[in-house]
Amino acid sequence: MLCFYFKKSKSKGKKAESPPEIGNQGTSQNVSATRGAKSANSALSSRSIPELYKEKEPNLRVFSYSELKQATNDFDRLLRIGVGGFGTVYKGTIMPANGQGEPTVVAIKKLNNNGMQGHKEWLAEVHILGVIEHPNLVKLLGYCSVDAATGIQRLLVYEYMPNKSLENHLFDKNLAALPWKTRLQIMLGAAEGLAFLHKGLEVPVIFRDFKAPNVLLDGNFTPKLSDFGLAREGPAADRSHVSTVPVGTYGYAAPEYVETGHLYVKSDIYTFGVVLYEILTGRRTIERNRPASEQKLLEWVKQFPADSRRFYKMMDLRLRNQYSLGAARKVAKLADQCVCKNWKDRPDMPVIVEALRGAILES
């Protein structure tokens, strides 16, 4: 997999210009005591994300490896809460930097030791989440990097999300089915997070890996986008797209990206449409255990147009008909628009936000 790479520079003094070069870390410390103007209303310059990181004073705590090892009981398997392509996530408990006060429950991602590729993903997350903050983006609390004799260790520390992910609640039959309105509210929050990435910054950010597992849920089921290792800056003002080797998850990626490697801001819209269909149907985008005609979600739903009498047959049975049929039809039409083959025909994320708000009011 290919991720974008940011040039590294060592931190000097109080201001954290960039995550440190891979090397042994001492005791934990706060890179800065202030975040500055790091919010959804921040007026960011037109500089690149790495340049913005150098200008800001991100309040990211630098952890020692021993601290995070202790926080996870030596990365105990019983504390695993997620496993992905780049690493494993553990539930952990950390003490305040000054050693005083109550411990905090966190999520600690330990990246695989697979050379520079893992480092690029780690550095991307530090840079992006170090300069942007939004209620629907997961909060990065700190990081750790160690050049040990046994290999490089890279870790990230996030706020803990007790209700796991949208994927868990859609597809885990051991969990109660998500109510219809909750599904819409989760997608609305996710859309607001993507809208901020696309439109709320001087430098647009393409998430590139939007899918149900990357929509985490806090104690109130507020959604927060996670896993920014594959994210990258959008095209410059005089360009329509950026080109790269396609990465991501099969079944979600936009056709223009898969076929040409051309990545547009609206490539995220396509993947959002796929997840809209997942919340409507309760089916994954690819399910190999179903009959051949039903394995690919986007092909299967074509049998049930939003305006047809057959439409209700595609709805998730776990909803037990407890939903607004009119609102469901509108969401399906929105999903259709999102997965248009021509990226120019897809709606902008702010338009999607307003459409989902309307569907919630109708529900």
Q: Are 242 and 260 in contact (CB under 8 A)?
A: no
Q: Which residues are catalytic?
A: 209
**pLDDT per residue as tens digits for the range 62-88:** 999 999 999 999 999 999 999 876 789
| Helices (H), ranges, 110-266 | 116-131, 166-171, 180-199, 255-260
The superfamily (CATH) of domain 166-362 is Transferase(Phosphotransferase) domain 1 (1.10.510.10)
**What average pLDDT score do residues 322-332 get?**
98
CA distances from 313 to 5, 52, 281, 282, 320 (A): 46, 49, 9, 12, 12
Q: What is the pTM of this model?
A: 0.86
Every domain of the chain with CATH number 3.30.200.20 lies at 29-159
Give the model's pLDDT for residue 70: 96
Every domain of the chain with CATH number 1.10.510.10 lies at 166-362
Phi, psi of 125 (to 5 degrees): -65, -40
pLDDT above 50: residue 22 = no
Give the number of C-alpha atoms closer than 13 A to the C-alpha of residue 150, restricted to the C-beta side. 3
- Which of 9-18, 85-94, 141-150, 281-290 comes out lowest in average pLDDT? 9-18
| Helices (H), ranges, 206-345 | 255-260, 267-281, 297-300, 325-338
Looking at per-residue confidence, does 362 or 249 come out higher?
Answer: 362
**What average pLDDT score do residues 237-251 get?**
75
Interacting residues of 78 by C-beta distance below 8 A, sequence separation 6+: none
Q: What is the 3 state secondary structure string of 26-69?
A: CCCEECCCCCCCCCCCCCCCCCCHHHHHHHCCCCCEECCHHHHH
Q: Which residues are known binding-site members for ATP?
A: 110
Select from 71, 111, 75 the least CA-distant residue to 94.
Answer: 71
**What average pLDDT score do residues 132-147 get?**
92
**What average pLDDT score do residues 133-155 get?**
85
> CATH says 29-159 is which class?
alpha beta
